[in-house]
Structure 1
Amino acid sequence: MIDPERFFPRFFAAALLVLAATLLANAGHAAELAKNAFGSQRLPAATSPESVGFYSKGCFGGGVAIAVDGPTWQSMRLSRGRRWGHPTMIKLIEKLSRDGVQDGWPGLLVGDISQPRGGPMLTGHASHQIGLDADIWMTPMPKRRLSTAEREDLSATLMIKKGGLVVDESVWTPAHLGILRRAASYSEVERILVHPGIKKKLCDTATGDRKWLRKVRPFWGHDYHFHIRIGCQAGSPGCKKQEAAGGGEGCDSALAWWFTEEPWRPSKTPPKPPARDRITLNDMPKACLAILKAPAPESEAAVTIGGGGMAQTAIPTTLAEKLAKGADSVSDTPETSIPVPETRPDN
């Protein structure tokens, strides 16, 4: 027979040990840096499309990938695994590539969109976390197909004079204005981020209906590429909207501020570590944990859209390779290198 006086204390002690181990394991998982958890994902969550959280702190499910090659675009930096986005974003990029050709832009070189399930990235961007941001190079697509190596190593065209704040007239063309105007014309697009010098060039040269200029916002970096941001989409109740861009063309004192000393003045205080190096899974929206654990589709091909029959290059991606690549010239401005004044015009 079981001796109750000896069995039950031992039973409860064992149960408490199991419970404590479980709690510690869960706590350890919650304390994991979100960038490591999301940066290791290779496929999206097989759910309905949904963006959760804010552009710089969130995730998304139901993502799809833009094809490596399309009739009017080529994807760059393939090893990063950042060709993923909300279906609306991917379709918009493809539409822009087609419309751009009609406007005289040869085709898009597509930079970073997002990771398969979004979230903080291992390197580079602070935003691009909910599948609603995309970087488009200011370099027109060449007539030939780039090799995998070229897509890794080719530098985008610097549009700003070295050491200055104005556009380099030797590389700027009317077609650059045209592709930016076309992107801003889409109702889905809420913002386009560019270098202040590019915004000034648009203000100085755009003719006709200039209402689209309101969406083009000056920001640090963005001198090799422009950053498209669309709004929260239907079916995403947990998506946090950004305040609407200010009224007017944005060619007034708000732009003039960028050509003063203040935006570029060195900070007097040590910079904080980038948010991606501090945010844990416990800090993320709760729905992001479910998206992280959700099953994946059967393959990348099953959730890749577009391409028009173009050949798709194999993507050699490992976590070590991605870390080794690091951020390059077309990444968003690193948080630690450019001081941000306490006050600036709203973006």
Structure 2
Amino acid sequence: MVAPLRRCGSALLAFVLGTSLLIADSAYADGTPAKTLFGAKALPAEMPTNSYGFYAKGCLAGGVAIPTDGPTWQAMRLSRNRRWGHPQMISLIERFSHDAAEKVGWPGLLLGDISQPRGGPMLSGHASHQIGLDADIWLTPMPQRTLSYREREDISATSMLQKNKFLTVDRSIWTPKHAQLIMLAASYPQVERVFVNPAIKKKLCDTWTGDRSNLGKVRPIYGHDYHFHIRIKCPAGSTTCKDQAAVPEGDGCDKSLAWWFTDEPWAKPTKKPNEKPVKPKVTTLADLPKACALVLDGPAPVSEAAATFGGGARVAAPAPAEGIEQVIGAAAGDVPPADIPVPAARPTAQ
């Protein structure tokens, strides 16, 4: 009796895989923007955890979500449903938030976007954040009270730049603790880069008197005056994830930084006479790693909470392999579900 059952199970598995591949092929043929497909997924793919592709061209299987509130963090912009990431990214954020409170005296992190439930291109706002290994941290300290759902949607982060003065940090807003927070983020071995505004990088170059061995990880980039962006390395042994090129040697306080204070980075592109406007390229599923079609079509976790709230609330079951809750509650309406938990002790990255 065992042999027929095995044959039946094998046939069923082959049928499921074959069906998934057919759906994937159909998705490839469709010219729908990938951001539309991935942005429509409210829950992760219940598959082994993997980051597929590159930070700006890929997807995420088996993602987990950071809880809305923790002892040293609060997540912002809940309606975007972008609190998902690779378990190592989520673990690093939680460890960083605890360390920031203990070592820097930072009152708590306000978390911006991490990734969508299945990664992939976002409907708005980012080119990267596609494989669950990027996270935005606001430069605004967390208030000592729990923010309401509406406040998390409406409150704006604080820019560190002086108004009406080109690339200059506002000394009335910037504090030594901001510098300590960013340098703490760069200190973790798994952190590959920390992106900040060029003015913030220059401020660190000019004033940081502590250990400068990780200052080279802090990279200048457009924007990023309201928040900084943490990027971690591909997980050890991963064959599906593509690392970024290594950070150049040195502290980065050199000609590469000085370039940002010239006209070149900010100059508008010049058009040639009679040049036809170039249509912006739309990224489709076919532009991403092939595995992303299967991730997109993968089954979502089934849980009692998910069944209770249906499509209105975005709630997922715990990931058994990682032991991390996947509660991301953000209802479609103005008020999220009332029973979003405040987690107890959380796992930390090693």
The 5-angstrom pairing of residues 319-334 of structure 1 reads none
Secondary structure at 1:140's aligned position in 2? coil
Counterpart pick for 2:268 among 266, 282, 292:
266
Counterpart pick for 1:215 among 214, 217, 221:
217
Structure 2 residue aligned with 1:49: 49
Structure 1 residue aligned with 2:33: 33
Q: Does 1:193 align with 2:208?
A: no
Asked whether the equivalents of residues 27 and 285 of structure 2 are also in contact (C-alpha less than 8 Å), the reply is no
Secondary structure at 1:31's aligned position in 2? coil
Structure 2 residue aligned with 1:178: 180
Structure 2 residue aligned with 1:302: 317
Structure 2 residue aligned with 1:130: 131
CA distance in 2, matches of 1:313, 1:45: 15
Q: Map Cα deviations across residues 217-244 of structure 1 (whole Å, 9 max, x no partner).
A: 0000001000000011135312111101
Shift of 1:29: 4.9
Instruction: Read off the aligned partner of 2:132 and give its amino acid letter.
Output: G
Secondary structure at 2:214's aligned position in 1? helix
Shift of 1:283: 1.6
Flag the structure with larger Rg.
1
Shift of 1:70: 0.3
CA distance in 2, matches of 1:199, 1:273: 34
Asked whether the equivalents of residues 79 and 317 of structure 1 are also in contact (C-alpha less than 8 Å), the reply is yes
Asked whether the equivalents of residues 65 and 303 of structure 1 are also in contact (C-alpha less than 8 Å), the reply is no
Q: Kindly tell me: are residues 48 and 159 of structure 1, through their superposed partners in 2, closer, same or farther at Cα, counting changes over 3 Å? A: same
Secondary structure at 1:97's aligned position in 2? helix
Structure 1 residue aligned with 2:60: 60
Q: Map Cα deviations across residues 266-323 of structure 1 (whole Å, 9 max, x no partner).
A: 1214986665xx011122110100111111112434238778xxxx8841238xxxxx
Structure 2 residue aligned with 1:169: 171
Asked whether the equivalents of residues 135 and 225 of structure 1 are also in contact (C-alpha less than 8 Å), the reply is yes
Structure 1 residue aligned with 2:88: 88
Asked whether the equivalents of residues 148 and 313 of structure 1 are also in contact (C-alpha less than 8 Å), the reply is no
TM (normalized to structure 2)? 0.78
Instruction: Read off the aligned partner of 2:160 and give its amino acid letter.
Output: M
Structure 1 residue aligned with 2:3: none
Instruction: Read off the aligned partner of 1:36 and give its amino acid letter.
Output: T
Asked whether the equivalents of residues 63 and 84 of structure 1 are also in contact (C-alpha less than 8 Å), the reply is yes
Asked whether the equivalents of residues 66 and 328 of structure 2 are also in contact (C-alpha less than 8 Å), the reply is no
* Residue ranges of structure 2 left out of the alignment (5+ in a row): 1-21, 304-314, 334-350
Instruction: Read off the aligned partner of 2:60 and give its amino acid letter.
Output: F
Shift of 1:127: 0.5
Q: Kindly tell me: are residues 202 and 101 of structure 1, through their superposed partners in 2, closer, same or farther at Cα, counting changes over 3 Å? A: same
CA distance in 1, matches of 2:277, 2:219: 24
Larger mean Cα displacement after TM superposition, 264-273 or 226-235: 264-273
Shift of 1:161: 1.0
Instruction: Read off the aligned partner of 1:153 and give its amino acid letter.
Output: D
Structure 1 residue aligned with 2:341: none
**Number of aligned residues:** 290
Asked whether the equivalents of residues 42 and 116 of structure 1 are also in contact (C-alpha less than 8 Å), the reply is yes
Structure 2 residue aligned with 1:292: 296
Q: CA RMSD in A?
A: 2.2
Counterpart pick for 2:242 among 227, 240, 243:
240
CA distance in 1, matches of 2:60, 2:27: 23
TM (normalized to structure 1)? 0.79
CA distance in 1, matches of 2:56, 2:229: 14
CA distance in 2, matches of 1:56, 1:250: 23
Structure 1 residue aligned with 2:116: 115
CA distance in 1, matches of 2:266, 2:55: 25
Secondary structure at 2:317's aligned position in 1? helix
Asked whether the equivalents of residues 94 and 306 of structure 1 are also in contact (C-alpha less than 8 Å), the reply is no
Q: Kindly tell me: are residues 148 and 117 of structure 1, through their superposed partners in 2, closer, same or farther at Cα, counting changes over 3 Å? A: same
CA distance in 2, matches of 1:144, 1:217: 32
Structure 1 residue aligned with 2:101: 101
Instruction: Read off the aligned partner of 1:178 and give its amino acid letter.
Output: Q
